[in-house]
Structure 1
Amino acid sequence: MAPQRIAVIPGDGIGVEVTVAARAVLDAVADRHRLELSYEEFDWSCRRHMEQGAMMPPDGIAVLRPYDAILLGAVGWPGVPDHVSLWGLLIPIRRAFRQYVNLRPVRVFDGVASPLRHAAPGSVDFVVVRENVEGEYSEIGGRMNRGFPDEFAVQESVFTRAGVTRIADHAFALAAGRRSYVTSATKSNGIMHTLPFWDEVVAERAARFPEVRWDAEHIDALAAKLVLDPQRFDVIVASNLFGDILSDLAAAVAGSIGIAPSANLDPTRTYPSMFEPVHGSAPDIAGQGAANPVGAVWSAALMLEHLGHPAAAADVVAAIEASLADPATRTRDLGGTAGTAAVVGALVDHLG
């Protein structure tokens, strides 16, 4: 069997460091399970934008298309506006490869102190399923009368029946294999067109999964309940904007955004899916060897699962659990003193 090909985009700042860490763990688990993985690295980043005027080359999407998966570190750097880095790399990849599911698992691990006193390890375990290619993040709109007192901006949201249907189906199917409970994020009491439409389509799809209990929560109440009672949730399905906000809130509930993973999935497997930690490039700690690599490593585990290696993925997650449980291998964001290299060493040792 030919090796599975992984395109690696380390990006900027600590993205480079955590990508090296994820690669080391992948090498260890691949050796353990005799997996054939090959890698090619691309220097697409804010640095490239500053030097060449673009985050990636004009044929970047075509270059990535033959790969089985994409492993991304993080992008963002002072001097390059965030909307430039996002729309110059991540969003074009997500949309060109129809990565319509953004999957963000959330857990409170043993050894990671949640800021919520009642969120004990093992009690919080849910997944945010975010619609990833339409919704509030559209290119439709513009600005007029720039520089005048009556300057204004218009941004359109786009919700399609096909888009809401497929993300709802993914959420319900995922819940059917977990605890059979879906929460749909909405705001149909205040947004009069798109979110009532979202509610209608989600209800239609829910009828196809009678074994899955479900309800809808307005986004403001849902944000409060994520803090007050995170244990109640199993699968949360949300639009692009709501899912983006909720998943970062959920990462904070779990103790640190540094451990939070994500997967940008094309569930049809027509195109490569992309895997990245939720955290940013953190220029303030870049190059210090202090970055928490767990988010990138857990993202790599999601990649292994997507590529058809669930046992290898489970071993990586078990290694993460062991390293987080040990105070000696917790990074600064978790209240410890360990550097990136110490965490990676512990993960590799566990897999060895």
Structure 2
Amino acid sequence: MQFFSMAVIPGDGIGPEVTNEALKMIKKVEELHGGMKFYSEHFEWGCDYYLKNGRMMPENGLEILKDFDVILFGAVGAKTVPDYISVWELILPIRQKFQQYVNLRPIKLLRGMESPLRYKNHEDLDFVVIRENTEGEYFNSGGRVHEGTPYELAMQNSVFTRFGMERILNYAFTLAEKRKKKSLTAATKSNAINFTMPFWDELVKEISGNYPGIKTQLYHIDALAAYFVSRPEEFDVVVGSNLFGDILTDLGAAIVGGLGISPSGNINPERAYPSMFEPIHGSAPDIAGKGIANPIASIWSIGLMMDHLGHDHIGKLIVDSIEAVLVDGNIRTPDLGGTATTVEMGDAIISKMAQLAVGHNL
């Protein structure tokens, strides 16, 4: 029997609604596998907690989380709390403190879905973006002075370290070695950002020498965004800095069906700290409480969690189950053109997984 400890932070808005469906998937995995057990503890941290306590999580929140194997996260953000507070006091400290330097986001057109890109099919849209997750442009360095005067100044510093870049690039190249196309694309903007990006380019070229079997290319971020739309079939593994990876993956989600579909893993490959799994979508306050949020991204995040824990066959089964429900087409949430509730969509996927698991040794 394998035992895993899981911290659950449902968060804000639709976060609790989609997290409930992900937790139902965890229970189904336990039931079907038989040799796996999750012990979970819930933490009601987020914007409501902030309004009551003046902080997004307890002062010792990171200390509380550090001994868990994994973290399941819902969403963060509310109209009552500025985004820079909710993000910088909850999700970013977790990513940075726990060295979750790999943000892994699959860009995959699931069977049963149609891309808004004409003439692009499922084989054309199946790649992964690796985003550096702990430094780069999202680094807590900078400030404001002379506020409220004509001399007011705001400065935000980007921080790129050789150590940080080498480890994310090595991870991306290693992943590319395991995939069919043996290709890696790195996002840059060295023609205009004249210190950090040339440094990044140099390291991409240097480290590529250790992976002679991988076709490596560097694209400026603006051109790369265009190529995501015009020729996505070219890509296999795409790696970028924190900001570039963030923007590219939202674009990637859009071309495969929307933010309600796409999952992510914030991974500490060395397992010295817990890794965190979450949908890439936000808290969607406009539909919170209506029971119509799409739970696919949250459920698929459990698939990424299974991959991380060494059960990639279960991860594949979860994706197969999502695709089977989409192909059937009977159960779809409003964002996918249907009328199903969050619970109905989650139950359909879990039921389909039980059917597909028959005869398989999980």
SS in 2 for 1:258: coil
Task: Supply the distance in 1 between the matched residues of 2:171 and 2:163 (Cα, whole angstroms).
Answer: 12
Letter in 2 for 1:63: I
1:291 corresponds to: 293
Task: Supply the distance in 2 between the matched residues of 1:30 and 1:329 (Cα, whole angstroms).
Answer: 25
2:55 corresponds to: 54
Task: Supply the distance in 2 between the matched residues of 1:125 and 1:12 (Cα, whole angstroms).
Answer: 30
Letter in 1 for 2:13: G
* Match among 316, 321, 336 for residue 319 of structure 1: 321
Task: Supply the distance in 1 between the matched residues of 2:62 and 2:14 (Cα, whole angstroms).
Answer: 24
1:275 corresponds to: 277
Q: What is the TM-score when the length of structure 2 is the normalising length?
A: 0.95
Equivalent pair of 2:143/2:155 in contact (CA under 8 Å): yes
1:340 corresponds to: 342
Letter in 1 for 2:279: P
Measured against aligned partners, the alpha-carbon deviations of 1:61-117 in whole angstroms (never above 9, x if no partner) come to 110011000000001111101110011111110111000000000111122221111
Aligned-residue offset at 1:2 = 5.5
Task: Supply the distance in 1 between the matched residues of 2:106 and 2:197 (Cα, whole angstroms).
Answer: 24
1:218 corresponds to: 220
Equivalent pair of 1:101/1:265 in contact (CA under 8 Å): yes
2:142 corresponds to: 141
1:304 corresponds to: 306
Q: What is the TM-score when the length of structure 1 is the normalising length?
A: 0.98
Deviates more, 1:306-315 or 1:3-12: 306-315
Deviates more, 1:16-25 or 1:2-11: 2-11
Aligned-residue offset at 1:329 = 1.6
Equivalent pair of 1:109/1:122 in contact (CA under 8 Å): no
Aligned-residue offset at 1:138 = 1.3
Equivalent pair of 2:112/2:324 in contact (CA under 8 Å): no
1:36 corresponds to: 37
1:14 corresponds to: 14
Aligned-residue offset at 1:326 = 2.1
2:207 corresponds to: 205
Task: Supply the distance in 2 between the matched residues of 1:25 and 1:217 (Cα, whole angstroms).
Answer: 39
Task: Supply the distance in 1 between the matched residues of 2:67 and 2:111 (Cα, whole angstroms).
Answer: 39
- Could you list the runs of 4 or more consecutive aligned residues of structure 1 that deviate by over 2 angstroms after TM superposition? none
SS in 1 for 2:252: helix
Task: Supply the distance in 2 between the matched residues of 1:328 and 1:81 (Cα, whole angstroms).
Answer: 39
What is the 5 A alignment of 1:144-293?
A: 144-178=145-179, 179-293=181-295
Aligned-residue offset at 1:249 = 0.5
SS in 2 for 1:328: coil
Task: Give me the CA root mean square deviation.
Answer: 1.0
Letter in 2 for 1:29: V
What is the 5 A alignment of 1:26-105?
A: 26-34=26-34, 35-105=36-106
Aligned-residue offset at 1:13 = 1.1
Letter in 2 for 1:337: T
Equivalent pair of 1:29/1:351 in contact (CA under 8 Å): no
Unaligned runs of 5+ residues in structure 1 are none
State the percentage of identical aligned residues. Answer: 51
Aligned-residue offset at 1:123 = 2.3
SS in 2 for 1:237: strand
SS in 1 for 2:219: strand
1:4 corresponds to: 4
Aligned-residue offset at 1:293 = 0.2
Equivalent pair of 1:185/1:236 in contact (CA under 8 Å): yes
Unaligned runs of 5+ residues in structure 2 are 355-362
